[in-house]
Amino acid sequence: QKEVEQDPGPLSVPEGAIVSLNCTYSNSAFQYFMWYRQYSRKGPELLMYTYSSGNKEDGRFTAQVDKSSKYISLFIRDSQPSDSATYLCAMDTGRRALTFGSGTRLQVQP
């Protein structure tokens, strides 16, 4: 069993839709939770970083962490074609050795 599970998609939505991306994890030692966006053939770009359970909002993006269920989510409001990319969840125990999910490919149709 992988430490971090993420549905690979692809996920196709119309422009303007609300997108929900999710990861589950098994390691209770994970303390830090991140979402990265990766465009094709580029390096991952940090979108959101959270430490505690609860919600964190930044513009159109909301990150949600539920440590009791070992479940994290990223919501994208008013999705745009430019949001089309692969979204990676990543987690860290504090050792700065990130464990990534396999990524969800998102396609926003104009």
Partner 1 sequence: DAGVTQSPTHLIKTRGQQVTLRCSPISGHKSVSWYQQVLGQGPQFIFQYYEKEERGRGNFPDRFSARQFPNYSSELNVNALLLGDSALYLCASSLEETQYFGPGTRLLVL
Binding site for partner 1 (CB under 8 A): 4, 6, 8, 32, 34, 36, 41-46, 49, 51, 88, 90, 92, 94-103
Rounded CA gap, 93 and 19, in Å? 27
Q: How far is the CB of 32 from partner 1 (least distance, A)?
A: 5
**Residue closer to partner 1, measured from CB, 15 or 45:** 45
**Residue closer to partner 1, measured from CB, 49 or 75:** 49
Among residues 34, 6, 29, which one has the least CA distance to residue 98?
34
Residues 1, 63, 20: CA angle, nearest 5 degrees = 70
**Residue closer to partner 1, measured from CB, 32 or 75:** 32
Q: How far is the CB of 38 from partner 1 (least distance, A)?
A: 9
Q: CB–CB of 79/108 below 8 Å?
A: yes
Q: How far is the CB of 17 from partner 1 (least distance, A)?
A: 24
Among residues 50, 41, 53, which one has the least CA distance to residue 90?
50
Q: How far is the CB of 102 from partner 1 (least distance, A)?
A: 5
The DSSP bridge partners found for residue 75 are 20, 62
